[in-house]
Amino acid sequence: MAWFESAGLSLIVFLPAVGALALFAIPKAREDAQKWLALVTTGLTAVLAVAVAANFRYGASEKFQFEVSESWIPAIGARYHVGVDGISLPLLVLSAVVTVLAVIYSWDHWEEPRNVRGFLALMLLLATGMNGTFVALDLVLFFIFFELVLLPMYFMIGIWGDSAKRHIPVLGRTVTMRLYAAIKFFIFTLFGSAFMLLGFLALYFRSGDFLGHNTFDIPTLIALGSQNAFGSGTFAFLVFGAMFLGFAVKVPMWPFHTWLPDAHTAAPTVGSVLLAAILLKLGSYAFLRISIPILPDMAREWAPFIGLLAVIGIIYGSLACLAQTDIKRLIAFSSVGHMGFVMLGIATMTDVGFNASLIGMVAHGLITGLLFFLAGSMHHRYHTREIARLGGNQKLMPWMGGILAFTAMASLGLPGLAGFWGEFMSLLGAYRPLAGLSLSQFQTYMVIGAIGTVLTAGYMLWMLQRVNLGEPKAEWSDHEFHDVEPTEWLAWAPLIVAIVAIGVYPRIVLGATTDAVVNLARNAFGG
Amino acid sequence: MVLTQFLILGALLFSIGVYGLLSRRNAVTVLLAVELMLAAVNINLIAFEAFWNTAAAHGQIFAIFVITIAAAEVGIGLAIILMVFRNRASGNIDELDLMRW
Amino acid sequence: MTFSDWIAEPVNWAFLAMAIPMVVAALRVVTSRNVVHAALFLVLALAASAGLFILLSAEFVAWVLVLVYIGAVVVLFLFGIMITRAPIGRETNLSHDTRWPAAAAALGVFAVTFWLINGVTQQIGGFGDPLPAVGRATPTGILGEGFINRYLIPFEAVGFVLLAALIGGITLARKDLTPAEEEEGARV
Amino acid sequence: MVSAVASATLILAAGDGAAGDLSSGGFFAETAWIMLALPFVAFLAIIVVGKRMKGLGAELAIGAMGVNLLWASVLFVQNMAGGIYREVNLTIAEIGTLGITDKNLAFELGFVVDGLSIMMYWVVAFVGFLVFVYAHGYMKGDVRVPWFFASLSLFAGSMLVLVGAPNLIQLIIGWEGVGLASYLLIGHYWEQKENTDAAVKAFMTNKVADVGLILGTILLAPTLGSFRFSTLSVAADIHDGALEGVAVAGALLLFFGAMGKSAQFPLHVWLPDAMAGPTPVSALMHAATMVTAGIYLMARTFPLYQQMATAARPWMVTIAVITLFVLGFLALVADDLKRVLAYSTVSQLGYMMAAVAVGGYTAGLFHLFTHAFFKALLFLGAGSVIHAVHSNNMSDMGGLRKEMPVTFWTFVVGSLSLAGVIPLAGFWSKDEILATLGHEGYTAFMWVAILGAFVTAFYMTRAVVLTFFGTYKGQGHPHESPRVMTAPLVALAVPSVIAGLLNIPGVSWGPIRNFTDWVGARIVPMGDYHPKAIEWDLAAYGLIAALVGIAVGWRLFAPDADTQQARDRLQVPVLYPLLHRKYYLDDLYMKGVVNPIKGPLARAVDWVNGYVIDAIINGAGAGTAWLGGLVYGRLDQQGIDLLLNAAAGGTRGAGGKLRLLQSGKVQQYAGAFVGGALLLVVAFVLVT
Amino acid sequence: MDLDYHALAPELVVAATILVVLTLDVVLSRPRKYWTAFAGVLGLAVAAVPLLTLAFGDGPETRSMLGGAYVVDGFSLVLKAVFIVGGYLVLLMSVSYIESDRYYQGEYYLLMLTSILGSLVMASSRDLITLFVGLELVTGPLFLLAGWRKGSAKSNEASLKFFILGVLSTAILLYGMSFLYGLTGSVTFEGIREAGADLLDSGAFRLAVLFTLVGFGFKVTAVPFHFWAPDTYEGAPTPVTAYLSVGSKAAGFVGLLLLCYKALPSVTEIWGPALWVLAALSMTLGNLTALRQDNVVRMLAYSSIAQGGFILVPFAAAAASNDAAVIQEAASATIVYVIIYAFMNLGAFGVVIAGARRTGSTMIDDWAGMWRYAPRLAVLGAMFFFSLAGIPPLAGWYAKFAMFLSILRPGNAWATTLAVIAAVNAVIALVYYARIAKTMWMDPVPEGATHMAEATGPLSGSLTLALGISAIFVVVAGILPFEFAGVFADLAKVVTTGI
């Protein structure tokens, strides 16, 4: 299957975009045809992604596979270079699969103003951006895909988002959430990526000093990085810092996170799901793909700082959750905490830490994605997200409540479910960070992170208690509630299965990543 | 005669033109001030031409182009002033403040 | 060259004879309270500059200046002034209150240029020497050749500038006819 | 060190089974994973089809436990006859090297079959089976029977995963699994807030403790290069002095984890509240099995404490003794029968922990073993009573001995056993603990423990008297429970009486040997102390303490068991409020920790988020917009006015300013133009 | 006379078209005047043909004529292509706009074509005189066109302000040029380049250079020489504004390119810092000011000021290095930016024209909810505005990318600081571009707007064509920059080697 080796990844990336265009060939009124087209497109993409995973040579997961490198912008030496290795493979599959589920879920969940074609097209465009980011092996290409997700998400939030008003302190204005959140998301990310781009360009220029020609090629730069070509001087410091800004905003790390609660809360359900499940991963993935292997010495110097922000994020996110009255906002803040664990793993600069971050990303994608699905469906039924008005959900909708409880358990890191491994391995990595990093400092991070797990459990249980348990409020007494519907089952079941499967058998993810991260740590830091 | 005296004369003329341009209310008089500035340019060009004294006489040719263009601009300018006048019955440019904010 | 050396040269007397009225006229152009006077002072200033051109052996340019400017442009100005019914008598408010800042700006421009011109003639050899070309008239043929050879393209382009100015100017300046009037005009 | 352990582990791994003189067991040991898996199968099956079954899924749960009981019994018998050791590990992921080991650390799942785990398998299966059967009767007519049995199965599975764990990772999985099941079952009646509060409290307290377990694991594993207990045991056996610091820290952290699950002071607070769950749950989880997981963990990692982390012992035993003594008093003031039993459980767990902490591996486990029977018995008996009177409170009971004879007599047997009356099981196990404490030099603690025996006997007498003697004070007519409930009582009464005989010091029962030999079948010798002969003097002190306790209790309560006075007799000043408020620990936790975090702290963070961090962002945005307005309004459109105005000297006053603003737009633009050009020239010609 | 008619063909065709339009205007009766538009559009299309034959016929070689006064090489070909295509799009946009009112059609196209001709002349000029005359040829007609809506006071004002500042800038430019000529003794760029190197320390020479730059700064609306732009843009007929912001601005950049790279490459110390300051000011003030605009045209005016700042950035980059490769890259970055900017900005103005016809307003708030009644227009609007904001995969990203690439290459602190300023500005710019998109997509339709929209009917064919061309360019060039149609790839090389 030579064609698959060479065209597989490109198909995964561009098939959704083609689907988005094709949608406009279907008359606006024929919504079913549009849905089917979107489903077939994303489904095919997911099948291809799974096929890539199936044909992936796990024995050589540290090598890029399905690699394609074509001329793209010769004037600057940017190439269309894509490939997957053990680090990107799980995320690529996650992205492709979650997109299908989002389409399935959308089948009978539409936000006003109803525009099936537009919404699906944005979703497909988003998929191209997400899938592309995970396979790009050229900095410019990476940048393009990294930014490509902005527009669809901006419109998704802005058009179909929550129209509730919210008073913004300091600004002294009451804003419409969807508008505020959309532009906030956009500006934050663009702000970060503007600096990220400067960092990329600086790398590009400096690479010429060693190669004789400038390059944007990530594998080539990684090879330079493993010889520590860029050193640890001011140059590397600034470049790392610039890229850090870009990635940290996307993750988002404390204190660059404030776009996230607003965006997640305001976005339509599917938007929140994709945002949480995939978009947040672009940043943390970029650390592993770009920052650390290319600038290892600087990564080592930044590590304590990254770790500090990560643990602040863990504690801060959890505490903020405890103060939330809106279930979606609570879930959103929980992402700050969970991504804190992901970043703590990265900050340890060890293979175990990197592994922790990767499985943490996948787990967070599955779990928080599912949580947002649930929050969306509940909002759909209750027409409110006020925790205070919910209660007794378990009684009104047993299955829904059950799944919510399951997901909450997974989210609080119950061992045996997917969420646990990332947290555990982050802490494990923090106990023995990269040689040369301050042991006492990272062990302090470890302890704080561990305390964070308690707080996580605290707000999740408290949320469950207030939402799921107890007697239903009187206002719902003459309401008709229908429990989980078929499309919801179809969209959620794979997530549930995956959460359990990865929880019991983490090799599903780690089998691909371990060799790659061991290799990454070894190349970057020696030994 | 030295070059400097002409250049300084040109500078003087140019500055006077600047003053006129900035201080005059009437559009026509503003245009007159611009003509002074262009005259300064011509003095410069001719003086430099005399200084370099080359056979090709680029400076003089340049000056002739400047004069021609200036004439065209006066035509254009007066047409615009005329049009404005038709609508406003005033030649004062400081009343043009529709787009103040 | 000292001032006394400079003033000893008769040609410089001629220079001053033209330059001083020129500056005075220029000042009057920008300060006169009467538009028509201002335009007429411009004529004076331009005439003086034409004189200077002759002094610098650029006769052709000087005559072009006289013909084009004094003969055409200033007339155009006067027409413009009359058509726009700018008051021909004494005017009190030709300048407005910005004249002090304007004067400051103008002085600034002059100071800077003056200083730099002095600098250049002192720093760089040759720039301070007497002008060589004086008394040697430029053959007009050279100019003509320049126009149809090296400067053919700008020469043609200027033609288009004038064409555009003419047509556009007329279009803008003319009184609009109603469609009915236009129809009539077309028939005639 | 790492390499030494690694090589030792490698030897073990090569065999992946028997070690030393232990046999690798037969078919049943080899396939012991089926035991671990069966309850999960039942769990899923009940969720899917439970509702449509006749017994609402109970039969599935009971069936699974029945098979497990058979399986465990076979192993039990095999191990009696001769020690078994079998360890099977399946790698579920390799996770990297941390830069310190040669090969990747691995997460593994599997099972270990050895003396300790076989004992636990059997206890879980035995008590579990009986409780399931009992529950089938007890829960009849409940709102969600299938879910109840599903949760019970989930618990049983998790517990077996826990006790079968050959490594810390799997142990953590099981550990939190039982915690989850506990949460679900405590909150079984989740319509009432107090039940869900109790469930959350249980989960959270355990979660706090789990931090210790997880950090302990994290400390030990990279040092050893493995998560396996066998590696840990071997490493402890090798005893590299350089690692003692890590070992002590890790040991203390693991102990902290055990404190949560085994309800040691001051993390015991969840257990009394956990009585909000249905009584069978209390019997199985919160008395017999789950709460012993901490003891089990200590036993499983015993070589660590015995060989390397001896420095940790004084701390551990102090906690344990505080638990056994101080918390026993709380049972004196409780009116809720189940709470009395719960505090008793806490206290008994203190005994076990004290034993294990000082090196009494067998003593602790033996008490765990016997306690499982009589405490389950007591809880089931209490359940039987509660079932009859529809109240948990002893003030609603009384005089039940005639109406409920089976319950009464089995309850008395259990109480006596718990009180430590010879020759019942509790006597022997408690005695061994006292002996161990004494032998290891913790004499003062030994006396405290003896005093504790007095307290135990005292509150159990009080409970029996207030429940079964006097006259009935509750509603309706209580009657004996159905057979399905009384049969398990009887079945549990038997071992409560005779189990002690299995571990009489120095006595070995022929081919079935002694309890010590059973649980001593481990990969490395335990090296623990267990008495070789009965120390009669010590036994006498213990027995006397118990008998005095019974006597005092009888004397205080029996004569007027019906009256309020009897119940109020213990309301002495100072002590009573202290006990009644449970030493104010709950207040401390709620008012001192939980509420500040949930309230002010969380709100403060939210405030910081909105008013500081986000405010900076929004402020930057608003500031940019403001700057835009400024630039546009003041600079771009008006600035030149101001500039010119300033240059004009401001001599004309306000009127002049106004006029300026209204005039000369174009010239202002031109002025800016000339001014800009001039500035450029000045800057780049004159200055540079 | 050594005239190369092949090389001159584009100019000749345009000149001929002007005469044809003039003739037609005289001959045709009023209802048939649209033929003048047709002739103009056709003429520009025909003018593009020799461009292609020049570029690909016998390879992009340098053709010099009239003693080196007029040169056709890769550089000028690329820019001429921009002018012709840009002009073509503007003419397409003008058709319905001019037709819809009592404007003078024939004269309009004549002036427009004259201006385009001027820009063609500029691109090939290699001496001060030709450059100056070319510039006047570009500007002169525009003074008039800005006032084309004779009845509108705003338009009058636009025209007069533009004119007065225009002649001021011409005067300053000429004053500078007179010194350039005077101090070097040469009017050709080559001569200035050779003599200029020795004059680096001469203050007067610096004055000459800076005054000349200021003259072009007016054309490219660099702050603080920009003040005319917002008023003029708002008042002028929208297609004229489009042309002002693209064609005339591009002409200004051609002047700057020629001046900086052809005439004054040896004295980067003079113009580099000055353009650094202008770039920084233009970006920052342009963006900040644009934030506060309620009128879409006015907003685009300030946006175009800011974009001008971005285009100036590579100049500062070139000045920061002596490396020929860096300078070449900077020059090509400017050209690339100008090309892409031309298309996206024209597209944006096309949307403005169409949107104004739909809603009868250019106030941003009146465009609320446009996607409900004009979805295609809303899509196009979002595309062009986000392209201007530089969001991938729309072409604008590559323009900004090339700009960043050039400014970071020298690697010194000043250049990097400017890069950071540019980066921050790129973010600020997003705010107001996104605001339009927000209004069009996310706000509810104001009362009554839909009825008006239905009344005006569909877009005219020519405007649709113009929008379509721009849109296709913006997407294709964004995804495959430099490969679009495979045409510019070779020329781009010439750009970088030709200077």
Task: Give tens-digit pLDDT for A58-86.
Answer: 989 889 999 999 988 887 888 999 999 99
**pLDDT at res. E105:** 75
Largest CA distance in chain E: 69
D120 contacts: CB under 8 Å, gap ≥ 6: D163, D296
Two tokens, residue D18:
């028997």
Instruction: Determine whether the interchain pair B58/E178 forms a contact, defined as Cβ–Cβ distance below 8 Å.
Output: no
Q: pLDDT of D461-502, one tens digit each? A: 988 988 888 888 877 788 888 888 889 999 999 999 988 888
Sign of the Cα torsion E350, E354, E356, E362 reads negative
pLDDT at B91 over 90: no
| Structural domain count of chain A | 1
Look up tokens 């007016």; give the residue.
E218
Q: pLDDT of A125-139, one tens digit each? A: 999 999 999 999 999
- How close, in Å, is residue D13 to chain A by CA atoms? 21
Two tokens, residue B60:
């003089």
Are the beta carbons of E85 and E56 closer than 8 angstroms? Answer: no
Using CA atoms, how far apart are residues A277 and C68, in angstroms rounded to an integer? 76
Confirm whether B97 is domain-assigned: no
Q: Is A348 helix (H, G, I), strand (E, B) or coil?
A: coil
Closest C-alpha to C56, from D362, B10, A437, E8? B10
- How close, in Å, is residue B1 to chain E by CA atoms? 16
**pLDDT at res. D646:** 47
Using CA atoms, how far apart are residues A70 and A77, in angstroms rounded to an integer? 11
CB contacts < 8 Å between D and E, how many? 91
Confirm whether E486 is domain-assigned: yes
E205 contacts: CB under 8 Å, gap ≥ 6: C120, E179, E180, E183, E196, E199, E267, E270
Are the beta carbons of C107 and C72 closer than 8 angstroms? Answer: no
Task: Pick the most confident of A265-274, D27-36, E196-205.
Answer: A265-274
Using CA atoms, how far apart are residues A210 and C169, in angstroms rounded to an integer? 63
Two tokens, residue C93:
């408010």
Using CA atoms, how far apart are residues D278 and D229, in angstroms rounded to an integer? 35
In degrees rounded to 5, what are phi and psi of residue D618? -65, -35
Q: What is the pTM of this model?
A: 0.91
Look up tokens 């900086």; give the residue.
E260
- How close, in Å, is residue C29 to chain D by CA atoms? 17
Domain of A105, in residue numbers: 2-525
Q: pLDDT of D1-20, one tens digit each? A: 444 454 444 444 444 444 55
Give whole-number Cα distances, D257 to C52, D160, D208, D275, in Å: 104, 18, 8, 21
The boundaries of every CATH 1.20.120.1200 domain in chain C are 1-90
pLDDT at E341 over 90: yes
Q: pLDDT of D38-60, one tens digit each? A: 999 999 999 988 888 887 888 89
Closest C-alpha to D79, from D107, D117, D105, D37? D117
Two tokens, residue A100:
């299908």
Could you tell me the pLDDT band of residue B82, with boundaries at 50, 70 and 90? confident
Q: Which residues of D touch A392 (CB under 8 A)?
A: 191
Using CA atoms, how far apart are residues E29 and D11, in angstroms rounded to an integer? 107
**pLDDT at res. E454:** 57
CB contacts < 8 Å between C and E, how many? 111
Q: pLDDT of D582-624, one tens digit each? A: 888 888 888 888 888 888 888 888 888 888 888 888 888 788 8
> Which of D95, D169, D598 has the most A C-beta neighbours within 10 Å, making it the best mutation to test the interface with A?
D95
Instruction: Determine whether the interchain pair D670/B21 forms a contact, defined as Cβ–Cβ distance below 8 Å.
Output: yes
| Structural domain count of chain B | 1
Q: Which residues of E touch B41 (CB under 8 A)?
A: 171, 174-175, 177-178
Provide the β-strand partners of residue D393: D336
Phi/psi zone of residue D259: left (φ > 0), alpha (ψ -120 to 50 degrees), beta? alpha
Using CA atoms, how far apart are residues D613 and D607, in angstroms rounded to an integer? 9
CB contacts < 8 Å between B and D, how many? 32
Are the beta carbons of A139 and A120 closer than 8 angstroms? Answer: no
Could you tell me the pLDDT band of residue A512, with boundaries at 50, 70 and 90? very high
Q: Which residues of B touch E136 (CB under 8 A)?
A: 69, 72-73
Two tokens, residue A426:
């982050």
Segments of chain C scoring below 50 in pLDDT: 92, 187-188
Using CA atoms, how far apart are residues D106 and E266, in angstroms rounded to an integer? 66
| Chains A+E touching (3+ CB pairs under 8 Å) | yes
Q: What is the ipTM of this complex?
A: 0.88
Using CA atoms, how far apart are residues E374 and A350, in angstroms rounded to an integer? 55
Q: What is the mean pLDDT of chain E?
A: 86
Residue type, A408: A
Q: How many CA atoms lie within 13 A of B101 on its CB side?
A: 7
Query: Chain C residue with minimal CA distance to E108?
Result: C168
Are the beta carbons of A518 and D104 closer than 8 angstroms? Answer: yes
Instruction: Determine whether the interchain pair A147/E492 forms a contact, defined as Cβ–Cβ distance below 8 Å.
Output: no
Task: Pick the most confident of D74-88, D231-245, D247-261, E186-200.
Answer: D247-261
Using CA atoms, how far apart are residues A12 and A404, in angstroms rounded to an integer? 32
Instruction: Determine whether the interchain pair D598/A170 forms a contact, defined as Cβ–Cβ distance below 8 Å.
Output: no
Cα angle vertex E489, ends E484, E493, to 5°?
155
Are the beta carbons of E215 and E172 closer than 8 angstroms? Answer: yes
Confirm whether E280 is domain-assigned: yes
| Pairing relationship of beta strands D86-96 and D105-113 according to DSSP bridges | antiparallel
Helices (H), A136-217: 139-148, 150-160, 177-211
Q: pLDDT of D78-110, one tens digit each? A: 888 888 888 889 999 999 888 777 778 899 999
Domain with residue B7: its CATH number is 1.10.287.3510
Helix (H) or strand (E) holding A152: helix A150-160
Using CA atoms, how far apart are residues E287 and A40, in angstroms rounded to an integer? 44
Q: What is the CA radius of gyration of chain B?
A: 17
Domain of E442, in residue numbers: 266-499
Provide the β-strand partners of residue D94: D106
Q: Which residues of A touch E431 (CB under 8 A)?
A: 183, 187
| Chains A+B touching (3+ CB pairs under 8 Å) | no
| Structural domain count of chain E | 1
Q: Which residues of D touch C115 (CB under 8 A)?
A: 686
pLDDT at B89 over 70: no
Are the beta carbons of A158 and E441 closer than 8 angstroms? Answer: yes
Tell me which residue in A74, A183, A197 faces E434 most closely, judged by beta carbons. A183
Could you tell me the pLDDT band of residue B56, with boundaries at 50, 70 and 90? confident
Fold of domain C1-90: Four Helix Bundle (Hemerythrin (Met), subunit A) (1.20.120)
- How close, in Å, is residue A70 to chain D by CA atoms? 34
Using CA atoms, how far apart are residues D157 and D226, in angstroms rounded to an integer? 25
Residue type, D227: F
Two tokens, residue A107:
């089948």
Q: pLDDT of E8-40, one tens digit each? A: 999 999 999 999 999 988 888 777 788 888 899
**pLDDT at res. A392:** 86
**pLDDT at res. A423:** 93
Confirm whether B26 is domain-assigned: yes
Are the beta carbons of D6 and D131 closer than 8 angstroms? Answer: no
Helix (H) or strand (E) holding A336: helix A327-347
Could you check whether the bond before residue D272 is cis, i.e. omega within 30 degrees of 0?
no
Provide the β-strand partners of residue D96: D105
Using CA atoms, how far apart are residues E479 and A21, in angstroms rounded to an integer? 15
Domain of B37, in residue numbers: 3-91
Tell me which residue in E128, E129, E144 faces B79 most closely, judged by beta carbons. E144
**pLDDT at res. E212:** 93
Largest CA distance in chain D: 122
Q: Which residues of E touch C179 (CB under 8 A)?
A: 30, 102
Helix (H) or strand (E) holding B56: none
Q: Is D167 helix (H, G, I), strand (E, B) or coil?
A: strand
Give whole-number Cα distances, C111 to A231, C106, C108, E176, in Å: 53, 8, 5, 16
